[in-house]
Amino acid sequence: MQRRLFLTAVPALGLSFVADHGWAETPPKPMVVSSGGTTGTYYRLMKEFDEASPGLIVNTESDGSLTNVDRVMDNQAELGITQLDALYIRAMKETNLKERIRVLALLHSEEIHFIAKSPPPNEGGILGFNLKSKNPRLESVDDLRGRKVALWGGAVITEQVIASMTLIGWAPVEYPDENAAFDALKNDQIEALMAVGGQPLPWVSQLSRDYRLLAVSDAMVTRLAPVYDKTTLTYRNLGQNGVQALAVRALLVTRNYTSKSKHDQLQMIHDKLADAVGDIRETRGTHPKWGEIDPTATTDKWPMYLSAK
């Protein structure tokens, strides 16, 4: 009798063992994050997060904010990184965008760099004019009115927003990448270029003092305050410290998922990001932008996912 009881108890014990160890459950697949180019800030941040908390995400390359939003909306990725101004300009055309796209976490600020050639040291002139040229010396972004400004990638969106809010009247010229834009500046095909990216941009850090940053005026900062933040740029290779500039917030966004499984997985990614950020920023060699990332921060400029009902 005792032997029969022991034998009948074995299957029940086995079932309990399987349930306790979760063998019957399928773990969720890592969520795809559409980030950016492999040499850019977005891709590097997600790569370093994946290294700190492996198995949660799959970091995929993209060509920028608009592609990332498209991939999230088209169900090709669960997460994407985008600039706030990219959402801002799309919301002007898509009335339900705030219902479909939500912010999972605030990331860093992307600084807006305006770069022009530096005049030779012997080119002074009266009232800032070069005596050998009809063109005034470029001191600030306000001086770009009527001038050709090169841009590419995410800067295309930023230019549209800034131009519409300030009516500055420059002439934008789009290029495929920073190399083509810089060649145009070097060969005097344009007067300045606009680059959007986390400071320090590696290629800007390698420029000589033949080039300089253009400052943003207080009036422009005030006019663009609804979308952009005031910041400063420092590139010692250019001999410039604390140049007044603009910045746009980068956001980790997702679809407005309603299922419990998706909500729980996104909650886990958010919490892991919050837990890991301290260790990542203190790890030698990681991107300096981790120093300003606070995943627990919120914004009232766009709906947050975890506060959504």
> Residues 78-91: pLDDT tens digits?
999 999 999 988 88
- Are 201 and 86 in a shared domain? no
Looking at residue 45, its amino acid is L
Residue 2 resides in a domain? no
Q: So what's the pLDDT on residue 136?
A: 57
Distance in angstroms (rounded) separating the CA atoms of residues 275 and 289 = 16
The count of domains in the chain is 2
What residues make up the domain containing 160?
111-249
Say which residue, 66 or 145, is predicted with more confidence.
Answer: 145
Compute the average pLDDT of residues 18-25: 49
- Are 78 and 124 in a shared domain? no
- Are 102 and 70 in a shared domain? yes
- Are 160 and 280 in a shared domain? no
What tens digit of pLDDT does each residue of 188-224 get?
A: 999 999 999 888 898 999 999 999 999 999 999 999 9
Distance in angstroms (rounded) separating the CA atoms of residues 124 and 283 = 46
Calculate the average pLDDT of the chain: 88
The CATH number assigned to the domain holding 127 equals 3.40.190.10
Compute the average pLDDT of residues 163-180: 95
- Are 117 and 243 in a shared domain? yes
pLDDT band, residue 123 (cuts 50/70/90): low
Compute the average pLDDT of residues 118-142: 63
Compute the average pLDDT of residues 179-188: 96
- Are 261 and 227 in a shared domain? no
Compute the average pLDDT of residues 171-186: 96
Rounded to 10 deg, the angle between the 84-91 and 155-166 helix axes is 60
Q: Which residues contact 130 (CB under 8 A, 6 or more apart)?
A: 119, 123, 124, 136, 137
- Are 207 and 157 in a shared domain? yes
How many of the other CB atoms lie within 10 Å of CB of 146? 10
CA atoms within 13 A on the CB side of 153: 25
Residue 1 resides in a domain? no
For residue 161, pLDDT beyond 80 = yes
pLDDT band, residue 122 (cuts 50/70/90): low
Dihedral sign of CA atoms 154, 160, 162, 163 in order: positive
For residue 13, pLDDT beyond 70 = no
- Are 62 and 163 in a shared domain? no
Residue 38 resides in a domain? yes
Percent of the chain with pLDDT over 70: 86
For residue 98, pLDDT beyond 60 = yes
- Are 236 and 156 in a shared domain? yes
Compute the average pLDDT of residues 59-75: 93
Residue 140 resides in a domain? yes
Q: So what's the pLDDT on residue 209?
A: 96
- Are 106 and 125 in a shared domain? no
- Residue 54, preceding peptide bond in cis (omega within 30° of 0): no
Q: So what's the pLDDT on residue 137?
A: 77
The overall pTM is greater than 0.85: no
- Are 131 and 205 in a shared domain? yes
- Are 133 and 216 in a shared domain? yes
Residue 75 resides in a domain? yes
Residue 273 resides in a domain? yes
Residue 129 resides in a domain? yes
Residue 93 resides in a domain? yes
